[in-house]
């Protein structure tokens, strides 16, 4: 059940990110100066943490979506759904650990120096 909830929550979060992304990109046509100010705020460590959360949401949503497809279309899928869920969680954790430096490296350098 929790994977169902997490799948819906990550889907909604991704949708809201895309909505905000379209709005801030459209701002370049309305006011380039304000667009530059908004983009400057994206270089802060707090936004880097939000980006890491976005990567986590997209990655979980994608991996769990593949699991849902396997459960729906593979004849043995329902029998192995628990094992596939733990495989998704394990792969997600490994990939998220690998994403720490590429996503948060700049924020760490800004906060703690190089």
**Residues tagged in the binding site annotation for heme:** 61
The C-alpha atoms of residue 111 and residue 109 are separated, in whole angstroms, by 6
The C-alpha atoms of residue 63 and residue 68 are separated, in whole angstroms, by 9
What are the helix and strand counts (H, E) for the chain?
Answer: 4, 0
| Residue 71 contacts residue 84 (beta carbons within 8 Å) | yes
Residue ranges of the annotated binding site are: 61
């Amino acid at each position: 059940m929790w994977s169902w909830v997490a799948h819906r929550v990550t889907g909604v979060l991704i949708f809201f990110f895309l909505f905000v992304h379209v709005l801030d990109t459209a701002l370049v046509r309305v006011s380039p100066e304000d667009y530059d100010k908004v983009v400057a705020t994206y270089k802060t460590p707090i936004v880097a943490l939000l980006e890491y959360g976005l990567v986590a949401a997209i990655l979980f949503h994608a991996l769990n979506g593949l699991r849902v497809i396997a459960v729906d279309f593979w004849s043995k899928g329902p029998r192995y759904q628990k094992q596939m869920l733990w495989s998704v969680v394990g792969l997600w954790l490994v990939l998220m650990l690998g994403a720490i430096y590429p996503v948060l490296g700049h924020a760490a350098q800004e906060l703690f120096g190089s």
